[in-house]
Amino acid sequence: MSQTVAKSNQTKRWQEMDAAHHLHPFTTHHELAKKGARVITKAKGVHIWDSEGNRLIDGMAGLWCVQVGYGREELAEAGYKALKELPFYNTFFQTTHPYAAELSAKLAEVTPKGIDRFFFANSGSEGNDSAVKIIRYYWNLQGKPQKKVIIARKKAYHGVTMASASLSGLTSMHPQADLPLPGFVHIDCPYWYGDGGDMTPEDFGLKIARRLEEKILELGAENIAAFVAEPIQGAGGLIIPPSTYWPEINRICKKYDILLHVDEVICGFGRTGKWFGSDTYGIEPDMINMAKGLSSGYQPIAAVGIGGRIGEAIFNSSEEWSHGFTYSGHPVACAVALANLDVMQKEKLVEKAGGEIGAYFQKKLKELEDHPLVGETRGVGLIGGIELVKDKKTREKYPSELDVGYRCRVHCFDNGLVMRAIGDTMVLSPPLVITKGELDELFGLARRCIDLIAKDLGRS
């Protein structure tokens, strides 16, 4: 398997410092130390460069976040201006500042109907932890403290803090920290290609949505606080729900008086071709969590959006709400997020993802289905997955020891493309500013790298 070979002394120096002192997210450290981390030094538009001068097209928009592309002066200037004017002030003790006030009002404009109040955090994980506390507080305020159980889904990814990791349904995340915490349960997710067998996607979507009803009836609606889910499951393998899934979930949550918290960290801000995944799928959330695309990743900022009955309950409570971070609504992060949303609106990036560019991306994605290694492609807007399989007819996967997805990703890195592997599903989620010409470059490289892994596996 090829890997990056550090050529320059500078690269080696950074790799050595990194190996000696830096703990990375989701990494087997001694393995990384042996080969040395790839050092990324600059980025512009839809491209990134490593310290050896190699240019890569970033098919993942960083980590599903750089909606407006890299190197945008508007965002840099907004951050610089805020740094000079008000580099920090908190929003505790009955204060605010123009950036937090204006960003809250802007979010009320673009978020799904009924969501009109925003709590700021610094990461998607903190947002979901805050959401769990809001859910508990809401039911306590209603005089229903027994409504405590939160139902989430297998293969869900909601972050890494204690509550967010408990919400997450990727089981590898749990044992190291003795999770999930009590009161978090996981039901099946609508992974039709993997689990649907002979069922139509529509029948399968209904069947899996009704798992929620079954779980509610099993545990008693009087004990269930909320259902938490991503519109499309991202880090769980790009799982696109069949059209029947979300309408049924809406119905069930309403029928049993269960709050619906929608994690829009990946799907928010145009990724699915509308402002939010909830808009794309007709989801009726009580609460949403957003991060990533909110600032295009230029600054760490997240927001939990509430409205309706939760908003009223918290707003009208006679006691102080005991929650908040030093950096909640950080002025620089809010200023950059405002500039980001301004660019998105001026350049009609959501409309493009839902229109011509999204359609072109989906067409190019679908074309990969003629490849002998590709079992299914699936996507919406500017997000897509390519599932690599051993047998197209039976959908049989390769044994996990073969690390097919990981090896394909290595080919991508070596050939100038960032494409993520989740198991054997290759994932794309490029900046929303990507052009048709750049999509041609991206899909040309994707096909070349799938050819290379097919060759390794003796499939061509």
Please give the residue ranges that form the binding site for ligand PMP (CB under 6 A).
123-125, 128, 157-159, 230, 234-235, 263, 265-266, 291
Say if strands 374-380 and 383-388 run parallel, antiparallel, or are unpaired.
antiparallel
Chain centroid, CA 446 distance in Å: 21
158 vs 407, beta carbon nearer ligand PMP: 158
Q: What is the dihedral of CA 342, 348, 349, 355, to 10 degrees?
A: 160
Would you say 59 and 428 are in contact if contact means Cβ atoms under 8 Å apart? yes
Residue of closest CB approach to ligand PMP:
124
Strand, coil or helix: 185: strand
91 vs 128, beta carbon nearer ligand PMP: 128
d(CA 160, CA 167): 9
The minimum distance between CB 300 and ligand PMP, in angstroms, equals 7
131 vs 445, beta carbon nearer ligand PMP: 131
268 vs 375, beta carbon nearer ligand PMP: 268
Nearest to 153 by CA among 166, 143, 162, 141: 166
d(CA 185, CA 162): 14
22 vs 255, beta carbon nearer ligand PMP: 22
The minimum distance between CB 82 and ligand PMP, in angstroms, equals 21
The minimum distance between CB 305 and ligand PMP, in angstroms, equals 14
The minimum distance between CB 31 and ligand PMP, in angstroms, equals 22
d(CA 431, CA 269): 11
Nearest to 173 by CA among 183, 187, 186, 159: 159
36 vs 381, beta carbon nearer ligand PMP: 381
The minimum distance between CB 293 and ligand PMP, in angstroms, equals 11
The minimum distance between CB 142 and ligand PMP, in angstroms, equals 26
159 vs 305, beta carbon nearer ligand PMP: 159
d(CA 395, CA 193): 8
The minimum distance between CB 121 and ligand PMP, in angstroms, equals 9
The amino acid present at 57, given as its one-letter code, is: I
What is the b/e burial string over 249-285, where b = at least 16 CB atoms within 10 angstroms of the residue's CB?
bbebbeebebbbbbbbbbbbbbbbbbbbbbbbbebbb
The minimum distance between CB 266 and ligand PMP, in angstroms, equals 5
122 vs 377, beta carbon nearer ligand PMP: 122
Q: What angle do CA 148, 151, 156 make, to 5 degrees?
A: 140
